[in-house]
A and B are shown apart, each in its own frame.
Chain A
């Protein structure tokens, strides 16, 4: 036996080598299972007793797996005597305290149940004394396998009828279960009414409130505690919604601070910031130093982006608990966010852009809110959706952070603006806040050396006189008043501004809405409101009305704000005068125009808030003076105009040209430079500057710069912002159209110093005109032509252009436009001729080159076409369209060459010429020649044209039309332009392919591909078809790609949707007879990376399709069955 013991190499249990029962082994062993076994062996004592080794093993096991069951030891219970003295005393004390508490409770109870004696009546009444209890359940039997066998007799029915247990089952059969159930259900709702149960049941049927009627104080507090515990538990289980219910129940009994805090935390988790803030605030009302409440409110405020208030709370927390980690972290985060916001702000400033502020809605809900007591709402005539009038929300903003509306409202409250305003006005809402683009491209920027006098703004704001409004037009547009005269334009502004001491954190936001009302009544009402707003501000720290608010914003953040001018509408008489003046100017009767303008100036001067208009009129008069050769007067007028509104391009340009005419090149140069700093794209300014430079160099030599007067440096924020309140519907519509169709025009600047009408479209739309100058006629016909082009009526357009050519023979734009029409009409020869004319007039006209190249291509003069394109590329090396075109032409050229050689045509992928012509839907509608140089894209896609041609501003959302009217920059993204943008970027790639996005009229069709397609192009094309509901466009697209190329072309872009479509395409191919092609598509798609993963997304329908294709192919027998079945396998089709 002993021999056995020593000889045995393994233990009896578990068969572990004896050598493993060793310190060294145990220390190194990493096998938890084995260690557990060793420990069990050691504990069993089978192999002897080694307490030390046992401990060693335990230690090792614990270090590896502290939760090992083997380590669980039976511990003797701790006894009081085992505890140390303080702990023991604490415990005993605790118990005694509890005992006395319980004794107190008992006393209360016993006094109450004194009457309870076990009499017979008591026996009966002991249990049904509570009327609030639900009725007794009707007796039912559930058999063990789950069947409800029957409904038992209820006590109410049977009363005292005796029952002998067990009942016979037959008895159950007499009852109708359904009836019983119905009865039970009927009983319960009626019961509920009696019980006065709160109606707000959660879906699960938990009431948020507890009926505490009849409860003792102890019961109530016990219940409140229990509900809170339930809430805590639910919270820990991450059932936040549930925890909210229980906390609310608890609070309905006893509004304890701790419960509020807990509920606030639950709200925080659910990101219900407002509720969380409310809860914390109610805690802080009673306990202002409650750290948890402060911390949680801070977090909630931060969640709501109310960083300032959040910071205050968190700092309060740190003041109370300097080491509070959470508060520190939160503060750090806030700082980060603020820094980021600042940075973004800065960047935006550099770009001269503004963020779009979220819509500020009116706020019935907010008014109901406890926190939000004050709000400034301004009534606005509800004409927005009325068909008769046009309303345009127009707002401009000083905010960089998109802060919550509630935040604004609340901070408005905090800054304590009097609530007077609110009371005075009905709460009509819809204030559209919009960012206003103030880039250099902005046409209406006024430039001046000095900032405008603030008093004028003040007066503007203070003006309370009702103003009749007519259309007011930008200074240099000179357009007559359109037919909307009858409309009164009312203006109102609604503002909420949040201001705080720290200027860096200011998220000031204000919005003003512009609206057009039909009736004066409406208007005067609005006026009143505006008045009220202003009055309300009079004594308040935080103003909330248009220009005043602007002012304050400027004061608060001097670095980041820019002066803002509000262009008000003219008084009716003044407007008429102005129109007269404009007409005189147009017809060349300059002295008359000057007279009119002078009287107008006198009148407008008296109206205090017409700063912008005054400046405009001065500028206009300056133009008249220029025309008459009175340069001195022109200069003085320009200077006055600029003193009213600084940094305005038009008067600057006019002054510059006046200086130039007077040969004061230095001053002229300075002014030109000034214009350039304001609007870098102004060609006139550039030209003028270089002219002056040349002259100056001639005069002063190389050191000419030294003799220059100091140049004006303009920062972005110095450029004032013009808010045109009285923008006319007409203008908006027109500009909208223009901005959609001809973005080049957005960069438009006056070409000559003569104030010739530039906005021809506008001019055209004004039928009330007596005499047309040739210039005007020209513009009108041209505009008409452009319109025709937009509508696709190329013939008519060509006619118009022909008329234009008859009037002025030296306008390149007309030629290029006509060339375009001819191109469309396949009159390649005429197009070529026009382009050539344009090029003789303007040798570097890229459009002309491009169009001539196209025309020549049509005529198969590939060589010449190539030359044009080369020329064009020399001018604009980055012109993608030209590059593309060149490749195509090259190919065609080669083809032709090959054909000449008598060889078969090259690749099948090359398209016949007419196909290409179809593809080239190129339209560039130029209103003016002067923009052509800047327009780097010689052609545009036609996709947007049909839409753009119909004036639709009536249907546009106000913000949109506002955008169109207010900024002439490409920067503002508009839904309509969105459709064009991708189109444009794509046009670089693939010539002009139709971009159908956003065009419901034309269904998407497959783009035509050229040559070998790259993966990028493919995915572009593919995505452009996303709109397509039918499979057809995809089929067309796939047809153009050799199935063998598919894997390469799709590359890693394969997704479930794509694969589905491809398989549907394959099915389509198979149906149309191209089984072989369908098969090869399926076959090749398998090579695409990620195919195996993506194929899992195939639905049964697609699989069915694939199955059909594969069945057909295998029935044809062109492919080996193994091959087909491998395809089958890969697609998961059995």
Chain B
């Protein structure tokens, strides 16, 4: 069996620092978000055509954008939710970007991470956006509710506020259950159950959590990947929670630098790409153990972690990869940004045969 190949399809330099790029659902276009040197925000829309990308829209906003997501919008509207350096959450209609549809100053500091669920047919239940900020809070927003978060996860008064680097939705397999995972700069990973409004599980992976992602948001929690500084990432099997030991996990070393990102292939939850601080991409495949559940000495069920196997790796840049987004419509197609101010469209082949 031939290995999958990661093909650099298109490379495009830009004039700003790229932080995020997201495919616009049901289209051959993507949005790139960033920061102009002068301190303003950049939002561009590119279209893939004939082996090149063409910028079809370019707007500049007052505050730099850090991150964006389409996941809380319907597939017709395709509204983009962005988090900016100022702690503001905005929702934009890409057809007219003059004013945001929804705007809230959700955080006092930069929104590091954003995730959403409930839109695009992904995840049952209400559309919700979660933001994680340097101010140490994680807030869940419902676009239908102005100004107020629908849920807030924050440190107790007097507690040192940790920088929240990563948030992710998951477990949205019916209209009631939903979980938010949050990762902090001190290595804390916390799993909040939005249905029970409680902290379901927490752990510490010793190094700052750069990225968290569930393999799928709209199924009963299956796997959670956390990437960290010091070139490690963790994969937890989220199906079986042991009362004391929590979830079983497998740890893998990669990239010889910070693992900035982990992104699951939308078409196959067991394949994911990690992006490194050295500009490299690694394609992984998770294989399940023969039995995912075992019993401990006291008859309590505990999970069994599987194994991750490296399928392919390439180095795209000398700078960290700041974002990576698989196309939801085309298997293997992805856009990634890096701090060398280059947009890249990458194609990964033979994903089906893994």
Contact = CB atoms under 8 A, between A and B. Distances in A.
A91 B348 CA distance: 11
Given A122-B101, A165-B105, A233-B268, A219 B148 contact: no
A116 B95 contact: yes
A142 B151 contact: yes
Given A78-B8, A80-B7, A143 B156 contact: yes
A118 to B, nearest CB: 5
Interface residues of B, number: 96
B55 interface: no
B76 A112 contact: yes
Contacts of B220: 204, 206, 242
A833 to B, nearest CB: 68
Contact of B7 (A73, A78, A118): A78
A228 to B, nearest CB: 10
Contacts of B78: 109
A142 B152 CA distance: 6
Interface in A128-150: 128, 130, 133-148
Contacts of A169: 157
A188 interface: yes
Nearest to B184: A144
Contacts of A218: 26, 75
Contacts of B202: 146
Contacts of B353: none
B122 interface: yes
A325 interface: no
A188 B176 contact: yes
A136 to B, nearest CB: 5
B81 to A, nearest CB: 11
Interface in A95-134: 95-96, 98-99, 102-103, 105-106, 109, 112-113, 116-118, 122-123, 126-128, 130, 133-134
A126 B101 contact: yes
Contacts of A165: 105-106, 108
B312 to A, nearest CB: 8
A105 B105 contact: no
| Residue of B102, B177, B220 with most chain A CB atoms under a 10 A cut-off | B220
Contacts of A201: 174
B57 interface: no
Contacts of A148: 197-198
Interface in B70-90: 74-79
Interface in A187-224: 188, 201, 204-207, 216, 218-219, 222-223
B150 A139 contact: yes
Contacts of B154: 141-144
Contact of B198 (A118, A126, A146, A226): A146
B61 interface: no
Interface in B85-127: 93, 95-96, 98-99, 101-102, 105-106, 108, 118, 121-122, 125-127
A144 B190 contact: yes
A74 B197 contact: no
A144 B159 contact: yes
B206 interface: no
Contacts of B140: 137
A155 interface: yes
A236 interface: yes
Contacts of B314: 74-78
A206 B174 contact: yes
A90 to B, nearest CB: 10
Given A69-B253, A136-B126, A142 B102 contact: no
A142 B192 contact: yes
Given A98-B330, A237-B288, A91 B7 contact: yes
Given A112-B76, A205-B176, A238 B292 contact: yes
Interface in B125-154: 125-128, 136, 140, 142-154
Contacts of B5: 78
Contacts of B281: 77
A1036 to B, nearest CB: 36
Contacts of A226: 121-122
B121 A237 contact: no
B344 to A, nearest CB: 8
B241 to A, nearest CB: 14
Contacts, number: 237
B346 interface: yes
Nearest to B164: A144
A126 to B, nearest CB: 5
Contacts of B309: 67
Contacts of A751: none
DSSP majority for the B interface?
Answer: loop
Given A136-B144, A238-B292, A113 B77 contact: yes
Contacts of B33: none
B219 to A, nearest CB: 6
Interface stretch (B14-22, B35-43, B45-53, B243-251): B45-53
A116 B93 CA distance: 9
A77 B346 contact: yes
Interface string B259-275: 00000000111100000
A207 B124 CA distance: 10
A10 interface: no
A411 to B, nearest CB: 38
A79 interface: yes
Given A77-B346, A79-B7, A105-B26, A137 B128 contact: yes
B66 interface: no
Contact of A126 (B105, B143, B313, B330): B143
A32 interface: no
A76 B216 contact: no
Given A148-B197, A169-B157, A138 B7 contact: no
A58 to B, nearest CB: 16
B280 interface: yes
Contact of A137 (B95, B159, B194, B280): B194
Given A226-B121, A237-B288, 5 more contacts: A78-B7, A79-B8, A95-B48, A122-B101, A204-B220
Interface of B: 5-9, 26-29, 48-51, 74-79, 93, 95-96, 98-99, 101-102, 105-106, 108, 118, 121-122, 125-128, 136, 140, 142-157, 159, 162, 173-177, 190, 192, 194, 197-199, 202, 216, 218-220, 222, 253, 267-270, 278, 280-281, 288, 292, 309-310, 312-316, 329-330, 333, 346-347, 349
27 contacts: A67-B310, A75-B314, A76-B315, A77-B316, A78-B314, A95-B330, A95-B333, A98-B28, A99-B48, A102-B329, A126-B79, A137-B126, A139-B152, A140-B152, A141-B153, A142-B151, A142-B154, A146-B199, A147-B199, A148-B198, A155-B144, A204-B173, A206-B173, A206-B220, A219-B121, A237-B292, A238-B292
8 cross-chain pairs, A with B, having the tightest CB-CB distances, nearest first: A146-B199, A137-B150, A127-B143, A77-B8, A155-B145, A144-B155, A102-B28, A205-B174
